[in-house]
Amino acid sequence: MAIILGLESTCDETAAAVVVDGRRVLSNAIATQFELHAKYRGVVPEIASRAHIENLLPVITEAMTSAGLAANDFSKIDAIAVAHRPGLIGSLLIGVTAAKTLAWTTGKPLIGVDHVHAHLYSVLLDRDCWPELPAVGLVCSGGHTALYHVRDWLDVRMIGSTIDDAVGEAYDKVSAILDLGYPGGPAIDRLAQYGDPKAVAFPRTLLGRSSLDFSFSGLKTSVLYHVRGVPKKGQSVKAMMDEQWDEGELHNVCASFQAACIDVIIEKIKRALRLTEAKSVLIGGGVSANRGLRAALADFQVPTYFPELRYCTDNAAMSAGLAEIYFQAGRMSDLSLDAITSSQFSEEV
């Protein structure tokens, strides 16, 4: 049993967490950057990197003290974990450099983990369950939508991924079209529950009979065309919506868009299960918070695991948790650990 300090800075959340035994989260400190990026309706890499520099040390201090440790006493920490891939290079470098510095100055082992694999592991945090392996893993977030064959936690292989937008990205873009703000997922999810999922027949892009890849950009464009209709010359989409739409129509578009996303996700999971004969499904990433998706998979054909809501979006507890498995297996990194923008095993299909 180890006590691991994890760091996360792959995109726009700066986070640090202390996790015991890969399961029990003693602290989970997160500095979000929503407000900095909201007006751009997406993450601006340069702004994200600068914010990580400002936020990282206070966040580490918070993680240590909330775990009941002195801010600068690392003697009880057994290893320093960091998500070193995939992500924005400037953002990754801040966390990786901090983790290397901590490991070097304290003499503790350094463990680099793949952020996307850590999203899959997040289903285990603060839980007693051990999902039966092999599993099909789905990571659906703002930056990633990919399927994995999880043979065991040291052997996680990508078997499909999006060829264009990630599903969370589609939520965010549709939210921008509907003027619902950023991030869009929670807003659309909330409004979808009041609408009719069959009201608008948005496309389900399946990319052929056996493909495990995803495509969400056509769906997003369909929503745009549906919403835009035939605007008057010089009229903004917002003005047109205000004039022509009632609230019910907005709810119906949200519900129909969400239904299209969920149908595609479920079909791809079923295909992956047929291919791998996996015993369970693990779903992580920001979109795994979606109520519609959780409800649709409530009585699925194999046991399906979602993270606690606080571990759906980016956090460092999931990296510290996965690092426990690496720690026990002796799979440590050294100070040559690099920040890498792509995901691990992405070449293996």
Q: From the list ligand KG4, Zn ion, none, which binds 114 (C-beta under 5 to 8 Å, kind-based)? A: none
Sheet holding 3-8, edge to edge: 24-32, 13-20, 3-8, 79-85, 110-114
With binding defined as CB under 6 A, does residue 141 bind ligand KG4?
A: yes
Element (H, E) at 3: strand 3-8
With binding defined as CB under 6 A, does residue 165 bind ligand KG4?
A: no
CB of 310 to ligand KG4, least distance (A): 11
Closest CB to ligand KG4 among 172 and 213? 172
Q: From the list Zn ion, ligand KG4, none, which binds 185 (C-beta under 5 to 8 Å, kind-based)? A: ligand KG4
For residue 41, the 8-state DSSP code is T
Q: From the list Zn ion, ligand KG4, none, which binds 313 (C-beta under 5 to 8 Å, kind-based)? A: ligand KG4
Q: What phi and psi, each to the nearest 5 degrees, are found at residue 341?
A: -75, -25
Residue whose entry in the numeric block shows the structure tokens 């893993």: 137
Closest CB to ligand KG4 among 153 and 171? 171
Closest CB to ligand KG4 among 276 and 290? 290
The backbone region for 176, taken as left when phi is positive above 0, alpha when psi lies in -120 to 50, beta otherwise, is alpha
Closest CB to Zn ion among 172 and 314? 314
With binding defined as CB under 5 A, does residue 314 bind Zn ion?
A: yes
> β-strands 304-305, 155-161: how paired?
unpaired
Position 124, amino acid: L
With binding defined as CB under 6 A, does residue 8 bind ligand KG4?
A: no
With binding defined as CB under 6 A, does residue 195 bind ligand KG4?
A: no
Residue pair 32/5 in contact (Cβ under 8 Å)? The answer is no
Omega of the bond leading into 303 within 30 degrees of 0 (cis): no
CB of 347 to Zn ion, least distance (A): 21
CB of 158 to Zn ion, least distance (A): 15
Closest CB to ligand KG4 among 34 and 130? 34
Q: Where are the alpha helices (DSSP H) in 229-297?
A: 237-244, 247-276, 291-296
User: Can you tell me which of 95, 143, 307, 321 binds ligand KG4, judged by CB under 6 A?
Assistant: 143
Residue 267: how many CA atoms within 13 Å on its side-chain side? 18
At 112 the three-state DSSP class reads strand
Please count the residues of this chain forming the interface with ligand KG4, following the rule CB under 6 A.
Answer: 19
**DSSP string for residues in 143-205:** S-EEEEEEEETTEEEEEEEBSS--HHHHHHHHHHHTT--SSHHHHHHHHHTTS-TTSS-----
Give the x-and-dash track for 50-79 against Zn ion (CB under 5 A).
------------------------------
User: Can you tell me which of 95, 168, 197, 321 binds ligand KG4, judged by CB under 6 A?
Assistant: 168
With binding defined as CB under 6 A, does residue 86 bind ligand KG4?
A: no
Position 253, amino acid: V
Residue pair 56/14 in contact (Cβ under 8 Å)? The answer is yes
Residues 262-291 that bind ligand KG4 (CB under 6 A): 285-287, 289-290
User: Can you tell me which of 183, 195, 197, 307 binds ligand KG4, judged by CB under 6 A?
Assistant: 183
CB of 246 to Zn ion, least distance (A): 36
With binding defined as CB under 5 A, does residue 141 bind Zn ion?
A: yes
Interface ranges with ligand KG4 (CB under 6 A): 11, 141-143, 168, 171-172, 183-186, 189, 285-287, 289-290, 313-314
Interface ranges with Zn ion (CB under 5 A): 141, 314
